[in-house]
Structure 1
């Protein structure tokens, strides 16, 4: 009976969190803009955090099709590496007064060679599409949010983490002036940063014409959402102690006002007016998760077998959890009468082949129409 009561209480808690309104935004203070600095990334490359190897995305920087800058963040008191794919027409000529798409990396980011330029053919896909693409190449395990604790120290999280301030107040004006953008924007994220894309849109109404969230969890203040974030940010620790880097240090206690403010399920009403693309798989193995597929794209048999096992077990479990989050968000948006393009796959793990399909589809169905290109 106690177990039944506990389960019922947990369910009621989740329902109440999903149905209640989001708290008012915290007081905002004016933030100075950042400073864009020229940077030759291949000559002075950033390093993968734990191995010291060069981050591979810099190999694509040719100062024509892919540009590199450092942008000083006043709130974080450091330079942030930023990659830019400038807007071009079909002939390859630069296009002035073009919109801007901000791509946010997943949990490991460029610091683990897990970024948009490394794992998605961004340079080729966006060539000729008349859109500037901006990719912040830092922020691993940060959720691209403003953290309450400014004194966290780990391999990946060090000092003030003011990513929302950077992305919405310090970066856009300066970088868009450098590339000659027109002020129309979209934002897209995968996994961890899918949550971020939704939150940035909610907290800054009208700033983004479109938002795309691939395999993310909108809820962050419910028990399952908060602890999903715990598992993610703990990966920034040198050891899996679940103490060095925690969601308490990021958003405060579970279900606290600031945590609720950063719950995209609770704040769903503020997505009204933004064009949305939201996706997830079920966690069941699809074609890209099979040994035969991995061998077909060049992996040796042993590596293909190991990779397939990781995709189907670890990637399957994560995507199954994400799938629940995504259906919760769909129910909330449907109830509010807020339209969104949902891509709910019958199969698929938490991996880049599916996000590649998502980006291609999101561009056609949602982002390009919203940006007018």
Structure 2
């Protein structure tokens, strides 16, 4: 009985640990973002406008466009959201003021709206089961986000606004950070620059697939098998930055790779129990992102790839003010490598 209790306790601890990782993946774009918003009026930027384009399913999708201060159409960057991407506004607009900084640097900003849990991928099938949520967990059509961002949306932007479809930049946080590298690796004719902030760049690492599955289920019941198939499907490897890193090297994509330490700093000042809980989740999540990012750095070094800037501040959790700081530090490098 003593052995059985020990084994049962260990099994229970493992389950709790995996669930904690999964919950941490959700926290920054939901609960943890509550205390991270820098200002209450950051949720809508009147300098932007709605831009609609149909995806490969014929479904109209919204993006938010912010025009470069000098009116050019050659310098374009795409800003990708995280796991809990909303359908009204992109998280970068809701939680930060980066659009104003980028447009002042004469960069046009494209913020795709929506794509909750999508990893900005073309899914293999619709997610056909859910918890009755109206947010899309029981889908009529599979996501076609990769095709949308690399074909449908840039074609529409070129036709209606004259935006360049070459030497664009792309960056994102968490889910969007991983996706930014994927889209740049497979579409180098469009993207010359990619930035990842707190991204999951080694998703084949032990425990990552299981954590992602639980996170998707918790986020309105998405079936992750609909995305890249079951865990043994080659599509998982196709979308793992650690695996496809040689493509980034061979295509000469300029990279900006960042992750915080998980140690709270000036942006982390919990004032309530909920804030404290969110900060704890953001700390744990950033520690996982840091481990993924450091592994990816070693991978690039083993490939002899040095066309990259690494940004590892000594403090920083998985929350919006830290990601905004990443953009401000990245901006001169981004500006020099697009357009």
1:172 match: 154
Q: Is residue 287 of structure 1 aligned with residue 255 of structure 2?
A: no
1:156 match: 136
1:195 match: 178
Q: Quick one: structure 1 residues 347 and 123, their matched pair in 2 at CA, closer, same or farther if it must change by over 3 Å?
A: closer
* Cα distance between partner residues in 1 of 2:298 and 2:107: 32
* Cα distance between partner residues in 1 of 2:136 and 2:80: 16
* Cα distance between partner residues in 2 of 1:198 and 1:150: 24
Q: Which has the higher contact order (CA 8 A, sep 6+)?
A: 2
2:82 match: 106
Q: 4+ residue runs of structure 1 moved beyond 3 angstroms? A: 56-59, 111-114
Q: Is residue 224 of structure 1 aligned with residue 237 of structure 2?
A: no
Q: Quick one: structure 1 residues 361 and 222, their matched pair in 2 at CA, closer, same or farther if it must change by over 3 Å?
A: same
Alignment TM-score, normalising by the size of structure 2: 0.79
1:181 match: 163
What is the Cα-based RMSD across aligned positions, in Å?
2.2
Alignment TM-score, normalising by the size of structure 1: 0.72
Q: How far did residue 124 of structure 1 move?
A: 2.1
Q: Between Structure 1 and Structure 2, which shows a larger proportion of helix residues?
A: 2
Q: Is residue 234 of structure 1 aligned with residue 217 of structure 2?
A: yes
Equivalent residue in structure 1 for 2:244, among 253, 258, 267: 267
Q: 1:107 is paired with a residue of what secondary structure?
A: coil
2:45 match: 60
Q: Quick one: structure 1 residues 125 and 307, their matched pair in 2 at CA, closer, same or farther if it must change by over 3 Å?
A: farther
* Cα distance between partner residues in 2 of 1:190 and 1:144: 12
* Cα distance between partner residues in 1 of 2:89 and 2:217: 18
Cα pair 1:205 1:270 within 8 Å, conserved: no
Q: How far did residue 149 of structure 1 move?
A: 1.6
Q: How far did residue 103 of structure 1 move?
A: 0.6
Instruction: Tell me the alpha carbon deviations over residues 262-284 of structure 1, each in whole angstroms, 9 at most, x when there is no partner.
Output: 11110001112011011111212
Q: Quick one: structure 1 residues 318 and 113, their matched pair in 2 at CA, closer, same or farther if it must change by over 3 Å?
A: farther
Q: 1:106 is paired with a residue of what secondary structure?
A: coil
Q: Is residue 136 of structure 1 aligned with residue 136 of structure 2?
A: no
Equivalent residue in structure 1 for 2:121, among 145, 149, 152: 145
2:35 match: none
1:85 match: 66
Q: How far did residue 210 of structure 1 move?
A: 0.5
* Structure 1 unaligned residues grouped into runs of 5+: 4-55, 90-94, 238-243, 292-303
Q: Quick one: structure 1 residues 361 and 166, their matched pair in 2 at CA, closer, same or farther if it must change by over 3 Å?
A: same
Cα pair 1:222 1:254 within 8 Å, conserved: no
Count residues with an aligned counterpart. Answer: 290
Instruction: Tell me the alpha carbon deviations over residues 267-313 of structure 1, each in whole angstroms, 9 at most, x when there is no partner.
Output: 0011120110111112122221124xxxxxxxxxxxx2335413431
Q: Quick one: structure 1 residues 263 and 153, their matched pair in 2 at CA, closer, same or farther if it must change by over 3 Å?
A: same
Equivalent residue in structure 1 for 2:314, among 346, 364, 368: 346
Cα pair 2:102 2:331 within 8 Å, conserved: no
Q: How far did residue 186 of structure 1 move?
A: 0.5
Q: How far did residue 57 of structure 1 move?
A: 7.7
